Amino acid sequence: MEKEETTYGLSPKHLARLLAIGLEKNDGENKLGDTRTPAEELDEILSRKLSLDPATPDSIPVILNRPCGELLPAAGRSMGDVLLDPSTDLAIIRTLKDCGKQLVRLSDTKSKQAAATVIYYAAIASALVFHRQKISRHSYEKLNEAYARLHEKPWIGPKLKHLLKKAEEICEKRKPRS
């Protein structure tokens, strides 16, 4: 019985390269390219209704792997509305910051990572602007730099960009002078 060729005519060199690609570590980047833009990813996250249902895969308790009872007053509202609402409780904002940080870690594309980073810094901005509280270990100088970079992103909507700009101004005033 004759052996059937299973390499589809690929040379050993090409076959080795193909196998190596399959074994490469994915460093948070989709090797085939992002299928969605950062703007689309950010809009999806901001419009997502806050859910406490552990059966919902994108609920915050599932993302953070812990109960999030502090979110109860915000359940059913969109993350964007909660982040931009001056009356949002500080405990909720801290949880959304933690969620943003975890979403950055879980991101499998650069677009998702960029959007999650915006959520993380938007939560810190919300606490700074609406509660005058810094809920991050980052220095005011580092936060100021981050907000300046984010403010330049054309794919961030105007309401969120306004919040980030206000936070940038607060950080600018509070960072140490040289």
Sequence spans of domains, the chain: 36-174
Looking at per-residue pLDDT, the higher value among 147 and 4 belongs to 147
Query: Above 60 in pLDDT, residue 7?
Result: no
DSSP state at residue 73: G
**With pLDDT > 90 as the criterion, what percentage of the chain qualifies?**
69
pLDDT interval class at 17 (50, 70, 90): low
Q: How far apart are CA 103 and CA 166, in angstroms?
A: 24
pLDDT digits (tens, 9 = 90+) for 109-134: 999 999 999 999 999 999 999 999 99
Is residue 12 packed enough to be buried (19+ CB in 10 Å), middle (13-18) or exposed (0-12)? exposed
Instruction: State residue 54's pLDDT score.
Output: 85
pLDDT-derived band at 178 (thresholds 50, 70, 90) equals low
Digit-coded pLDDT (tens) for 40-73: 999 999 999 999 988 888 889 899 988 889 999 9
Helical segments of the chain, H only: 12-23, 38-47, 60-64, 79-84, 90-106, 110-131, 140-151, 158-174
pLDDT in the model for residue 21: 45
